[in-house]
Amino acid sequence: MADLYLKIVNTPVGKTAAQTLGLPSPVPLNRLKRTDQPFIEGDVLVGAATGARAIATVGSILGASAATLHHASGTENLNDSAKAGNKAKALEIGADLDQKFSALVFDGTGIKSPEDLRAVYDFFHPTIKKLASNGRVLVIGMDPASCRKAPQAAAQQALEGFVRAAGKEIGKKGATANLVRMAPGAEKQLDSSVRFFLSPRSAYVDGQVVRIGKSAEAPATNPVAPLTGKVALVTGASRGIGEAIARTLARDGATVIGLDIPPAMEDLQKVTDAIKGKALACDITDANAPKLIADFAEEHFGGIDLVIHNAGITRDKTLGNMPEHFWDMTIAVNLSAEEHIDEELMKRELLRENGRIVCISSISGIAGNFGQTNYSTAKSGVIGYVEAMAKQLKNGITINAIAPGFIETQMTAAMPVTIREAGRRMNSLSQGGLPVDVAEAIAWYCSPASNGVNGNVVRVCGQSLIGK
């Protein structure tokens, strides 16, 4: 269902009415329009606190973009900004700035104490009002867990609070703010994440924190089709988010095995035919399902590279009124089946080297939801599974999760209008997301260049007011 309110408030009359009544005026989000679209254009300003570790890498990434790159000058504790490289033009940020910025990128990896946080203020205070509509704020910091001294850990943790608050302030512009935390020595693993968070692909990802670990150097890929040669399994692929995932991975070059239950085969076949993939009818809760999936992947492709656990169900009832089969079915589909499928693929060594596993959690698994004790339990279990498996997987295989918020699907279209409107507006961007927003985040996880991204749970929710 289309967001009629979003359309109305972006007309001259509707905008005036919303302002008069004090109603939210969400800005339409810019999403990817073509695969060869530059990840960032326009003026981009980078800054760095003293002792910055990632600024040269960030400068190199942005220097290869279509953006006009500037580095902050004029403030002593931002002098390391100049390390962004020769392509970055010095810009006096204490002066009256007249341009609009597509992105503000700040390297806070050198911050070692609360006093050093003044560099954050000095960079953003004169520039945040100059952030363009649909602009991006990206902060790069260190993982507090890697900090040896408490003041440094406190200051690095403080960057999370800054980003989450900044995201709420700039959301009215359709702009987002996110934090990337890198492990010591993980500078070479930043590329895919910097590109994702600065691009239209991350339009509905806001107020999130991502950990980047040290890993083997990422292989060179075709930027237009980075998943060329990869085989992807997408469960629940017949419609909605699953269909968007299948189409997006195929767009990026992957061959897709679309899986869904037998009653959905007609719709599934339409999806897989359109993307030149293969359809597989299977109930993932069946005891024989893992073997059936593994046999299919082995027979047709000799293995698999990407496993996307999208299939899911809800069976809502308050706990006291919930029949036991509602509980058992929800746990089986949303959690247990994922574990069994992964176990079978890895036991038979069908998940190839540098493979990717992506699980779908939910903000209900983070914050809980009335009438969904079964669903919240299962989706929280997904998070626990991802975090545990990230420490166990070998051969360059990574596992991550997506936790969608309010996404415009057939399910949300069937909600009562008051609940649906609340879901749309209760986030920093004041609108619902689209299935493609979830799919783009999954494509980022799946990129061969994302080998340092492991064990993360990223919410695709426009920075919902519910949860973290």
Q: Distance between CA atoms of 332 and 315, rounded to whole angstroms? A: 12
H-type helices in 286-349, by residue range?
289-301, 324-331, 337-347
Strand partners of residue 260: 281
Strand partners of residue 356: 306, 398
Q: Distance between CA atoms of 300 and 295, rounded to whole angstroms? A: 9
Cα→Cα distances 148→53, 154, 184, Å: 16, 11, 12
Q: Are 219 and 295 in contact (CB under 8 A)?
A: no
Q: Distance between CA atoms of 194 and 371, rounded to whole angstroms? A: 38
Mark whether 385 is an active-site residue. no
- 3-state SS class at 66: coil
Extract long-range pairs of 268-273: CB within 8 Å, 24+ residues apart.
268/237, 268/238, 271/237, 271/238, 271/239, 271/243, 271/246, 271/247, 272/237, 272/246
Q: Distance between CA atoms of 196 and 393, rounded to whole angstroms? A: 24
Indicate the burial class of 195 (C-beta count within 10 angstroms; 0-12, 13-18, 19 or more). Answer: buried
Strand partners of residue 433: 407
- 3-state SS class at 132: strand
Provide CB contacts within 8 A for 303, sequence distance 6+: 231, 297, 349, 350, 351, 352
Q: Please give the structure tokens belonging to residue 252.
A: 């990026």
Provide CB contacts within 8 A for 190, sequence distance 6+: 54, 57, 58, 61, 140, 180, 182, 212, 452
Residue 445 backbone dihedrals phi, psi, to 5 degrees = -55, -40
Query: How far is CA 440 from its chain centroid?
Result: 7
Q: Distance between CA atoms of 364 and 1, rounded to whole angstroms? A: 22
Catalytic residue, chosen from 5, 204, 375, 385, is: 375
Q: Distance between CA atoms of 455 and 321, rounded to whole angstroms? A: 35
Catalytic residues: 375
